Structure formats: C-alpha cells, structure tokens
C-alpha cells in the first residue's frame, strides 16, 4: 500500500495476511480510519492524516494497480503481489 500525503510525500506499507479483503487488513493495522457509507468504507484518515471533504473538498482516492478503483477498500479482494494506493486528493 502506497500512501501519498497532502504534501506529496509518500510512504509504503507492506502487509502479509490471510484476509480476503483489503479493508480488513488496513483497518486492523490502524493505517486507516473511516465510517461505513452507502458504498462501503468511507476513509477519512490515512497514516494519521485526515481529509475533510466538507472543509476543503479533500478525500482519499483509492487506486488498485495504478487505476482508480471502482469499489471501496472493504469490497476489494486481495491476492499476493497486489499493489494499492491511497492518495490525498482535493476534488
């Protein structure tokens, strides 16, 4: 999991797990915080940094294999070698 912060700095996190879905792992590891929404987990904080859409239109964009994901992290199955990104984005 690559995290791109507001200041464009990046951090990479590697996890080894038997979990079926990505959301299980990154929630259990404390990488993200969020709330359940209509479309799954809505991520509000990653690696200690909050994105508040109501304040400055910021949100955490989720990418899988370099492509913008069309599902939430808790609905994304994981396999060995998968690459994901969470990018602080101002919409």
**3-state SS string for 59-89:** EEEEEECCEECCCCHHHCECCCCCCEEEEEE
Q: Which helix (H) or strand (E) holds 45?
A: strand 40-46
What percent of the chain has a predicted confidence (pLDDT) above 70? 100
β-strand partners of 64:
67, 84
Range of the domain at 57: 2-90
Q: What is the pLDDT of residue 91?
A: 87
Which CATH number goes with the domain that contains 69?
2.170.130.30
pTM for the full predicted model: 0.94
How many structural domains does the chain have?
1
For 83, phi and psi rounded to 5 degrees? -120, 130
pLDDT digits (tens, 9 = 90+) for 7-42: 999 999 999 999 999 999 999 999 999 999 999 999
Q: Is the pLDDT of residue 44 over 90?
A: yes
């Amino acid at each position: 999991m690559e995290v791109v912060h507001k200041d464009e700095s990046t951090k990479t996190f590697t996890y080894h797990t038997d979990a079926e879905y990505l959301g299980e792992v990154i929630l259990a590891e404390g990488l993200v915080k969020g709330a359940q929404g209509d479309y799954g987990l809505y991520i509000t904080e990653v690696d200690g940094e909050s994105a508040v859409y109501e304040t400055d239109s910021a949100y955490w964009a989720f990418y899988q294999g370099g492509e913008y994901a069309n599902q939430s992290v808790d609905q994304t199955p994981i396999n060995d070698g998968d690459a994901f990104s969470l990018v602080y984005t101002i919409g």
